[in-house]
Structure 1
């Protein structure tokens, strides 16, 4: 993979600024990877256990930061919205402390090509069934934030607010506001919801995601530390994991997918739930087994979850045999062939959906060829999950 080791003057200026702010950087440097964008490269051989980056708490941007707190933005809006509003309000100030950092952030044009949130409606409609609810939730959250905060924003700044809202969505770290003498956040930090615990972290946002780790990120009252968990050769990209997320989640939330993702899975709800009778839905609901049916890869083979097996068993066998299955009593092997056939029919239906989606996307490519190609790739990944590629 071709690597540009100095991705631009703005990155050189930002790294210099970050070091002046107290960010400690060891053995890694920003780089541009062909076909992938920005990331961090090992500037020399790295041993497991080396601390690569330390970011002091004083340079984070959080709702506990003085400049954000002083705006007194309404607490009914989300933390994401308030941070986006702060960045929008001070954007015209050339003296803002994070100006050099902001120069390294992706542009709105880049977001428009990779984030489903920004795609044309006709292409959003071709997202896989697991990604659509994620996008719908994002859109509702954004609309609420803008409604709650628009009176605090400069005139005609919605486009800028949307841009910074996406910056927050794609670049924040989890920050649980460790106790300090100056902290103004609730003393019972364990009661904070995860969506309240957000921080923009200079230099840390260069790290790209991998499904199997590569570095550990820890926090305490002093800030963030990133420590390697494996050896890297000079020139290798250095990663850490954002968590065990499917490619639909990564696409919807961050605008990328992994070609090989250990955690990949897809929802089967849209294929199973509509075929259940009202009575069957009531039974599954009573057993807390209605919905959340998933397909993933287990031991290199397509596998459906226990909830899926329970629903298919209820749909294809006598209810008492379903009851024995969920209770863990009796011999369920006599129904296995019937359930296996139901799984195969399910896979056939999903494979047909994949083929139809890819065919439709070929007709929609036009000026949105990159987006259409991303969607085709995702449908092909689902075919691979089905074992039909």
Structure 2
């Protein structure tokens, strides 16, 4: 389907949501969008921004999103303080709220009252946004007396089904069909997924007492929401936030992990391994509006868009497919940032304790990788230690006094055998995945894509060794 072809009822519903989003952005700040671009929802790439006409040059502003319409620690605190006047952070909380209790009381006056200064400040950006979005998006609609300011933004959030290619969700039990695929993940992906899942569980343990208090308060209303249901909503929200956050410095927070914001419209831009040449974000802290951290703009890069229908791309960073799958739920057909984490395989062939102790002593144990362009120095040192009984000589190599050629031909022979063995393991894993039944095919194809990328890396290096 062309980016400019309608897509039936789905496209009609999407157009309505998009119109509501644009109206909301225009109403609540200085929203600009170039008339040369158009937003479309396509079967191939999902939601994305495309060139409609003309051209886009370096430093040309494609869009500007006002600070009031970005969702981050500051704007969440501002909106919560409209219903909890005891919440007070200089320069952040609302000083002149026009919202007042009526005969039909907005439930947020009661529910946000438990969010004290100390509690809010102790929460990470992830934790506060999950709590806030959980109530505003998933709980508030059960009352007919109020509507969230953020509803137009929520309406274009991805569904949970659209996020279920993210492996950590398989671990957390939202998609039992894909759980067998987890065992087939490459080591780098599996470790990454386990780390995300552990963080999700930790964040839920922090906010669960707040959610339980809300559940107890529901008993005095007609709202019937269980803790189990709200946990599933929390998972949905967590991965919406994680897959769509963009960097911005949060003055109230100290950790680098807290420095992010959700930006409507900008989160429609898709990623490419070379997209650093296409577009980049800019933050104007002089344009803060009534509240927030500054206007968020997207400007053109060195690539000049000139072909109608060309997709406007934004760099998510220099990330491998393992990273992209775990953080965003997609992979690229070709990705120059791919690498293979061969730590487990390397460590399995170094069984001699003196060699292990030597590598640990010099901080060269583990973190062994092979990319398309090189074999990591750490791996070469480990292989040298395996083939050379003179560890003093290996230490000189470690310090840069010798080259790997000093250990040939033994090093080349072991490296080639090492990579051939890896290639056979990868081939076997690919065959296993292809034979799997009753798993989501998109998720299976994503993992196959990662392994096929590994094969290309190994083939390139083995060809150079012949």
- Whether TM exceeds 0.5 here: the answer is yes
Structure 1 SS opposite 2:372: strand
Seen in structure 2, the aligned counterparts of structure 1 residues 138 and 76 have a Cα distance that, compared at 3 Å, is farther
Quote the residue 1:375 is aligned against.
447
The CA deviation at 1:354 is: 1.1
Per-residue deviation, residues 115-159 of structure 1 (Å, max 9, x unmatched)? 112233211111111111110011100101111111212442111
CA distance in 2, matches of 1:330, 1:160: 57
* 1:118 maps to which of 158, 166, 169: 169
Indicate conservation of the 8 Å contact 2:280/2:314, yes or no.
Answer: yes
TM-score (norm 1): 0.90
What's the Cα RMSD here?
Answer: 2.1
| Alignment partner of 1:51 is 2:51 | no
Larger mean CA deviation between 62-71 and 256-265 belongs to 62-71
Instruction: Report the count of equivalent residues.
Output: 373
Cα distance change, pair 145–330 in 1 and its aligned pair in 2 (3 A): closer
Instruction: Report the CA distance between 1:4 and its aligned residue.
Output: 4.1
Alignment-derived partner of residue 84 in structure 2: none
Question: Secondary structure of the residue that 2:140 maps to in structure 1?
Answer: coil
Preserved CA contact (<8 Å) 2:396 2:402 = yes
Q: Which has the larger radius of gyration?
A: 2
- State which of 299, 308, 311 in structure 2 corresponds to 1:237: 311
Query: Does residue 1:20 correspond to 2:27, yes or no?
Result: yes
Shift in Å, 1:43: 2.1
1:308 to 379, 382, 387: 379
Are the structure 2 counterparts of residues 77 and 122 from structure 1 closer, same or farther at C-alpha, using a change threshold of 3 Å? farther
Pairing partner for 1:136 from 180, 194, 198: 194
Aligned partner of 2:265 among 203, 227, 231: 203
TM-score normalised by the chain length of structure 2 = 0.75
1:109 aligns with 2:161: yes
Question: Which of the residues 290, 297, 314 maps onto 1:225?
Answer: 297
Aligned-partner Cα distance in 1 for 2:156–2:426: 37
SS at match of 2:411: helix
- CA deviation after TM superposition for structure 1 residue 171, in Å: 0.6
Measured after TM superposition, the shift of residue 23 of structure 1 is 2.0
Pair 1:287-2:362 in alignment: yes
- Structure 1: unaligned runs, 5 residues or longer: 179-184, 187-191
Deviation of 1:367 (Å): 4.3
Q: In the TM superposition, what whole-angstrom CA distance separates every residue of 1:315-337 from its partner, at most 9, and x where no partner exists?
A: 11131221121122256534132
Q: Which has the higher strand share?
A: 1
- Alpha carbons of 1:278 and 1:131: their partners in 2 closer, same or farther (altered >3 Å)? same
Distance 2:181 2:360 in 1: 34
Whole-angstrom CA distance in 1 between matches of 2:419 and 2:356? 21
SS of the aligned residue for 2:56 comes to: coil
Give per-residue Cα distances to partners, 1:291-333, cap 9 Å, x unaligned. 11111112xxxx3111111111111113122112112225653
Q: Where does residue 42 of structure 1 map in the other structure? A: 51
5+ residue gaps, structure 2? 82-86, 88-111, 142-146, 171-177, 216-225, 286-293
